[in-house]
């Protein structure tokens, strides 16, 4: 079973990954060949599209368990699908899940390559706050539903 996740956008940042999953993970730099990351139209985050000659630098998180895949699937939403791909790490190739834009939603991607430095400088603080707020609201909602049962 594949328990690694290759990230290339907002989840590159361990604090955002932890805000979404509630856990810290061991991670390392990784590279994905044959894809490019583009900014999603009207959003501050990217999506991946197949581009045979391109390479995407990212981060590989290890030890993602089944319960967290459901949480990550919900976080990524309907635009994305989770697929298994080979990624290059310092020790060779490693199989990992990655979220790519569904072909039916390819038009949602702009022609603008997503810039990690722009995200970090301009958008990261507010994005992280929104993620933490959404997770807290989700936890409160689950607790309220549990209390009613």
How high is the pLDDT of residue 140? 47
How high is the pLDDT of residue 44? 96
Q: What is the CATH number of the domain that holds 11?
A: 3.10.490.10
Domains held by the chain: number: 1
The angle that helices 14-21 and 66-76 make with each other, rounded to 10 degrees, is 110
Q: Give the whole-angstrom CA distance, residue 110 versus residue 17.
A: 24
Q: Is 0.85 topped by the overall pTM?
A: yes
* Angle at alpha carbon of residue 97, lines to 13 and 33, rounded to 5°: 85
How high is the pLDDT of residue 67? 87
The per-residue pLDDT string of the chain (149 residues; one tens digit each, 9 = 90 and over) reads: 889 999 999 999 999 999 999 999 999 999 999 999 999 999 999 999 999 999 999 999 999 998 899 989 999 999 999 999 999 999 899 999 999 999 999 999 999 999 999 999 999 999 999 998 877 655 545 545 555 55
Can you say whether residue 47 is alpha, beta or left, with left for phi > 0 and alpha for psi between -120 and 50 degrees? beta
Residue 143 phi, psi dihedral angles, 5° rounding: -65, -40
**Range of the structural domain that residue 67 is part of:** 5-148
């Amino acid at each position: 079973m594949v328990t690694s996740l290759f990230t290339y956008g907002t989840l590159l940042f361990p604090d955002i990954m932890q805000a979404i999953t509630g856990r810290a993970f061991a991670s390392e730099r990784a590279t994905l060949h044959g894809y490019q990351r583009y900014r999603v139209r009207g959003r501050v985050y990217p999506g991946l599209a197949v581009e045979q000659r391109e390479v995407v630098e990212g981060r590989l998180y290890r030890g993602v368990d089944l319960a967290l895949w459901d949480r990550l699937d919900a976080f990524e939403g309907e635009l994305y699908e989770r697929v298994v791909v080979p990624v290059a790490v310092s020790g060779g190739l490693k199989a990992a899940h990655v979220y790519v834009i569904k072909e039916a939603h390819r038009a949602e991607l702009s022609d603008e390559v997503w810039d990690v430095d722009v995200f970090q400088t301009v958008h990261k603080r507010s994005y992280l706050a929104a993620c933490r707020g959404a997770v807290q609201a989700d936890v409160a909602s689950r607790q309220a539903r549990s209390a009613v049962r």
